[in-house]
Amino acid sequence: QVKKQCDQKLLIRMKTKCVPCSLNLDTQCPAGYTKITNGTGTPDCRYYLEVKTQTLSFLGCRHCCVKEFEHPECCQGHWGPDCVGK
C-alpha cells in the first residue's frame, strides 16, 4: 500500500490582548488554542489609558497561544482531492 496523503502539521501562534500584568493571570486563549506562557504572561507590550486630554502608555503583559492545524496534502507523485497516483 503506497501512502498517498502526506498531511502537513502547521503550528499557528497568536498573542492575547495587551493588558495590565496584574489582570493577565486569568486571561484565556481563544477556543482551540493552548496557552504556552505561565502566570502573568510575557511583559512585552504596551497598553494605553486615556485620561482627560492625554493618552498614557504602560508596560503590559500578554500570553502566547498555539494551535496545531493539519493541512491536507498529497505525497509526491499524487494529486487531486483524493490524492490519486500516476
In a domain, 2, yes or no: no
Over residues 47-78, the pLDDT tens digits come to 999 999 999 999 999 999 999 988 889 998 88
Cα–Cα dist 5/70, whole Å: 12
* pLDDT band (50, 70, 90) for residue 11: very high
Q: Total structural domains in the chain?
A: 1
What pLDDT score was predicted for residue 72? Answer: 87
In a domain, 62, yes or no: yes
Over residues 24-33, the pLDDT tens digits come to 999 999 999 9
Tell me the HSE value of 83 on the side-chain side, using a 13 A CA sphere.
11
pTM (two decimals): 0.72
pLDDT exceeds 90 at position 37? yes
In a domain, 64, yes or no: yes
Domain with 56, as residue range(s), is 8-75
